[in-house]
Structure 1
Amino acid sequence: MAADIVPPRPTPILHTVLDRRQTLTLGLSAAVAILGSEAAVAQSQSFPQAVLAALPEGQPFDAARVADMARTLARRAFVPPASDLPDPLGSLTYEQYVGIRALGTALVWNGEGRAFSLEPLHRGFLFTNPVQLFVVEDGAVRRLAYERGKFDFGKLQVPAGTPGGPDFGFSGFRVFFGGAGEAAQEIAIFQGATFFRAIARGQNFGAQARALMLRPAEAKGEEVPIFRAFWIERPSAGSGALVIHALLDSESVAGAVRFTLRPGEMTIIDVETTLFPRVALEHVGLGGMTATYLFGPNDQRGIDDARAAVYEAKGLQMLNGQGEWIWRPLSNPETLQISAFVDTDPRGIGLLQRDRDYATFQDDDQRFERRPSLWIEPFGDWGPGTVQLIEVPSDSEVNDNVIAYWRPKTPYPQGGEVTFAYRQFWCWKPPERPPLATVANTRVGRGSNNRRRRFFVDFVGDSLADAGTTVEAKPALTTAPGAVHNVRVWPYPERKTLRVAFELDPGNETSCELRLVLEAAGKPLSETWLYRWTP
């Protein structure tokens, strides 16, 4: 079960469906399920606070000590997060949880004339794991203490307890940029397990990132790491960058992560990670990202929806180590699909939203055309491995059913130390794009008989405005297995478009891997289109 990149390599693994509410974090329900079996242990144990003593409040901050804490933590047995959140906070509905509002007095650095401010996020609903928040001001560590009076709970009857209220704690934080009060724009959220997301100017939240993935889609279950604590450096006045340090923990590994966030026309986040495995890590996911894909022109079966399309990302873009640009349209399959794209030293991976026209979706509420593309570029060489793409069947747009990440070929050894880094671009368009014609649309429908499927693949690019070029362009099209028939080329120079139409006859096969690239004089005119057909 793998899409073709030479050499093709199957990856037969399983996965369970991970659900999320639209504005929540993918996989948190999975984290709750995984850790829930250890709830009894969590009641009698707590996170070893002695680890955090390496950076005591009021003392100078040293980023190296976060890695030291992770190293120390890795030598100890994993302690699940405490499940001590009382009702009603531990049993909130989604609507009740989003009704909890932080008051203006809870915002950190608001009104100080800095470009950034922070909003601590309350625990509740699925977000029950406690996260300790610290800020670094004038070089010194300051703990953000929980104060019940800084939150508006609406109609919820929350226990008051002693004067000042009990310490319910935080689940994460939001990052605002660009001024104080209503002038500030929410540009990033760090909340739940090791999930975070960001947007560029003028966008709506969509795709999400994961700082680390362990055993995704394996039959024995995914392991979901969590963030234990954050240290956020107060930026100087006029600074356009925010530095965030995090302590990561899981049954199999501890780690330190440094995020450097730069908002703008595209929001750039540099992610630097050091891992200390407690056990050998056979299946690790780096640069993980997730998004929703419900239906589109290539995938409309069984959909009864007034909208034209529903997806946060249209396809998986790859720039492999050989310099080949690859486009893999996403789908909502009938059965779980796992694709593995073999590569060495990948140069870029991303879940992209290429459709920026309202007419594509006709959705006045969700505005999918405003969702960010997420493109990552590794720092340094990542060696051999595979880009993994997981497509999970879904019947609802509130499911993040598409997952992509880099899986190193070589396992990470127990007791070792592993570092890696990459740059994320949360953007309208990635900064580096194919210097070739790109795929604008993939359409699939019934062919000339009940067995065949008809495909339209539209390529667009400046080179296709030249009638001479389009005459020379030839589609290099293959399928394995199956057969292709009735291949035709329709050039539209006035629209800088060339359409390749063909029929796929899968025979008795249950899946076919298709590959298409436009060529002229033996050289590519387009990125490579890959597609997996399934019934």
Structure 2
Amino acid sequence: MPTLLGSSALAQTVAATAPSEAPESKPFSFEILTEWMQMAARGDATPPEQVSGFLTELDYDDYQRIRFDPERVRWTEDGSSVHLNAFHLGWLFKEPVHIHEVVDGQATEMPFSTADFIYDDVEAEIPEDFGLPGVAGFRLMTPINRADKFDEMAAFLGASYFRALGRDTLYGLSARGLAVNTGLPEGEEFPRFNAFWIERPVPGAETVTLYAALRSPSVTGAYKFVLTPGATTTVDVTARLFFREDIGQLGIAPLTSMYLHGGVDQGGFDDFRPSVHDSEALVMNLASGETFVRPLNNPPHLAGSYFTAENPTSFGLVQRNRDFDNYLDAQAHYERRPSLMIEPLGDWGKGMVRLMEIPSDLEGNDNIVAYWIPETPARAGGSMEISYRQHWGLTPPGDGSDDRARILRTRAGKGGVAGVKKETDRRKFVIDFDGALLAELPDAAEVSPSVSVANGEVAEAVLSRIPGTGTWRLVIEAAGEPGATVELKAALTGYGKVLTETWVYQWVKE
């Protein structure tokens, strides 16, 4: 049990941050927040606040034992369809985040104290009923799965990270407010949301609206989020950015996920589970109707792929296989991890989606990053406003083509004929397509593969229909020089049209 300290010991344990009077209400709107962040970008960046006292003494074990008291959950007294609680400061979260409640255009900071949390078996000494200098983040809860139970719908925690859930899903991949110089030699910045303003939901409200202030050495931002829970939960995001410095690479709508092994990339893992990943592919839909599907890798070294586009319809990281037997993990339930598709709103112009894949040997590490890079560079003194809609769920719109055959699976292995000892340095890729018009065609239909390769060669490409099914299988044997990064692309065509999604893959020839 934690030791609860009285007021006499308080000054020796924590800096004097306990509120002495009721928080003051101030006018608030998105326009007011925008003005604040624009003014902040004109001055020097200020270092974030830091916690002190007992909050610096909480280690991993202590932090995992701290729980928000269910009797102290906010917005439970008036029939609100959304409840709120907070994450405690300490351990990795040493920079306070301030949360404000907005009612009728007036914002009041929401105070939190040690009385809001349960500290069972925490070894650090905890001051009694002490006003905390802020929190680490917060959760929003709503009856998303059952009418009688408030489940988590979204959480904002750490830097500018946040996650949301659709019905019947479990937390998996994350989104971020912004990516700055990710993977560049000059080093990445991690912008953070240091303050939120949440409109208090009225009874019967179907959406939650909140705002956030984003701060970083090179950029500030005013953000608006409108969350609509459902089978597929949507989050409408508007970001108004102000650049204090030139930015080498600006990442819009960044996504972060985990891919350890499975499918096309089994790696060298001695694991009873056939697949371990929060996401299995990057999907990008173009205005032309083409859908690119890029299976993810856990590469031997840092890898990057770029997909150029103008006003893409959507892009995102998806988990399309929903069969438990593909994962066999009765605790993690990777088959229930949400897909997340980004739908641009307004004119995004020209740019590219960047996919980064980072080598990893632990499923606790997020090693997949994807985001949009606008063609227009971010320059000091400039600004940008961009809007998009996130779709979180098991089958969000855009997770694959609606009118072309989808890619069911990709598998890979040694090239050559199975069962023959003859060695080859080729790599074999097996791509199965099914659905739409393709599934209705007879075996003798005039369907042909369209295959291209960069930095390597296609030694063989064979297409056939799997007997007794509507599935067509394309087998590609590729070759490349040792150390080469081979880029492959394939789709099935026939009768004057593209019949399938477009498969793209990056193979690092070791």
Higher alpha-carbon deviation: 445-454 or 218-227:
445-454
Letter of the 2:138 partner, please give it.
F
1:176 maps onto 2:141 in alignment: yes
Corresponding residue number in structure 2 for 1:82: 49
The separation in 1 between residues aligned to 2:444 and 2:433, in whole angstroms, is: 11
1:460-499 alignment runs, 5 A limit: 460-468=434-442, 471-492=445-466, 494-499=468-473
The structure 2 residue matched to 1:394, chosen from 360, 363, 367, is: 360
Instruction: State the 1:508 CA deviation.
Output: 4.0
Unpaired stretches in structure 2, ≥5 consecutive residues: 1-16, 18-22, 417-422
Corresponding residue number in structure 2 for 1:203: 169
Query: For the structure 1 residues 181 and 155, does the alpha-carbon distance in structure 2 shift closer, same or farther, using more than 3 Å as the test?
Result: farther
Instruction: State the 1:361 CA deviation.
Output: 0.5
1:504 maps onto 2:482 in alignment: no
Q: Which runs of 4+ in 1 moved over 6 A?
A: 179-182
Kindly indicate whether the alpha-carbon contact (under 8 Å) linking 1:60 and 1:141 is maintained by their aligned counterparts in 2.
yes
Query: For the structure 1 residues 102 and 138, does the alpha-carbon distance in structure 2 shift closer, same or farther, using more than 3 Å as the test?
Result: same
Kindly indicate whether the alpha-carbon contact (under 8 Å) linking 1:136 and 1:232 is maintained by their aligned counterparts in 2.
yes
Letter of the 2:466 partner, please give it.
Y
The separation in 2 between residues aligned to 1:407 and 1:114, in whole angstroms, is: 39
The separation in 2 between residues aligned to 1:80 and 1:289, in whole angstroms, is: 26
The structure 2 residue matched to 1:354, chosen from 310, 317, 320, is: 320
| CA deviation vs aligned residue, 1:477-516 (integer Å, no higher than 9, x gap) | 1212222234222213743211111211224452211110
Under a length normalisation based on structure 2, what TM-score does the superposition of the two structures give? 0.90
Bigger RCO (CA 8 Å, 6+ sep): 1
The structure 2 residue matched to 1:73, chosen from 37, 40, 43, is: 40
CA RMSD of aligned residues (A): 2.1
Letter of the 1:73 partner, please give it.
A
Query: For the structure 1 residues 278 and 469, does the alpha-carbon distance in structure 2 shift closer, same or farther, using more than 3 Å as the test?
Result: farther
1:365-514 alignment runs, 5 A limit: 365-432=331-398, 433-434=400-401, 435-448=403-416, 449-468=423-442, 471-492=445-466, 494-508=468-482, 510-514=484-488
Kindly indicate whether the alpha-carbon contact (under 8 Å) linking 1:465 and 1:494 is maintained by their aligned counterparts in 2.
no
Kindly indicate whether the alpha-carbon contact (under 8 Å) linking 1:85 and 1:168 is maintained by their aligned counterparts in 2.
no
The number of residue pairs the alignment matches comes to: 480
The separation in 2 between residues aligned to 1:243 and 1:249, in whole angstroms, is: 20
The structure 1 residue matched to 2:183, chosen from 195, 200, 217, is: 217
1:15-26 alignment runs, 5 A limit: none
Query: For the structure 1 residues 85 and 490, does the alpha-carbon distance in structure 2 shift closer, same or farther, using more than 3 Å as the test?
Result: farther
Corresponding residue number in structure 2 for 1:345: 311
Secondary structure class of the residue paired with 1:423: strand
Letter of the 1:498 partner, please give it.
W
Instruction: State the 1:259 CA deviation.
Output: 0.3
Letter of the 1:472 partner, please give it.
E
Kindly indicate whether the alpha-carbon contact (under 8 Å) linking 1:129 and 1:192 is maintained by their aligned counterparts in 2.
no
Kindly indicate whether the alpha-carbon contact (under 8 Å) linking 2:265 and 2:298 is maintained by their aligned counterparts in 1.
yes
1:63 maps onto 2:37 in alignment: no
| CA deviation vs aligned residue, 1:382-404 (integer Å, no higher than 9, x gap) | 11211100000000101110000
Letter of the 1:439 partner, please give it.
I
Higher alpha-carbon deviation: 467-476 or 518-527:
467-476
| CA deviation vs aligned residue, 1:350-391 (integer Å, no higher than 9, x gap) | 100001000111111100000000001111111121110000
Higher alpha-carbon deviation: 163-172 or 253-262:
163-172
Letter of the 1:385 partner, please give it.
G
Corresponding residue number in structure 1 for 2:193: 227
Instruction: State the 1:277 CA deviation.
Output: 0.9
1:110-259 alignment runs, 5 A limit: 110-161=76-127, 164-178=129-143, 183-259=149-225
Query: For the structure 1 residues 231 and 456, does the alpha-carbon distance in structure 2 shift closer, same or farther, using more than 3 Å as the test?
Result: same
Q: Sequence identity, in percent? A: 37
Secondary structure class of the residue paired with 1:68: helix
Query: For the structure 1 residues 470 and 333, does the alpha-carbon distance in structure 2 shift closer, same or farther, using more than 3 Å as the test?
Result: farther
The separation in 2 between residues aligned to 1:259 and 1:430, in whole angstroms, is: 19
Kindly indicate whether the alpha-carbon contact (under 8 Å) linking 2:111 and 2:131 is maintained by their aligned counterparts in 1.
no
Unpaired stretches in structure 1, ≥5 consecutive residues: 1-45, 47-55
Letter of the 1:458 partner, please give it.
D
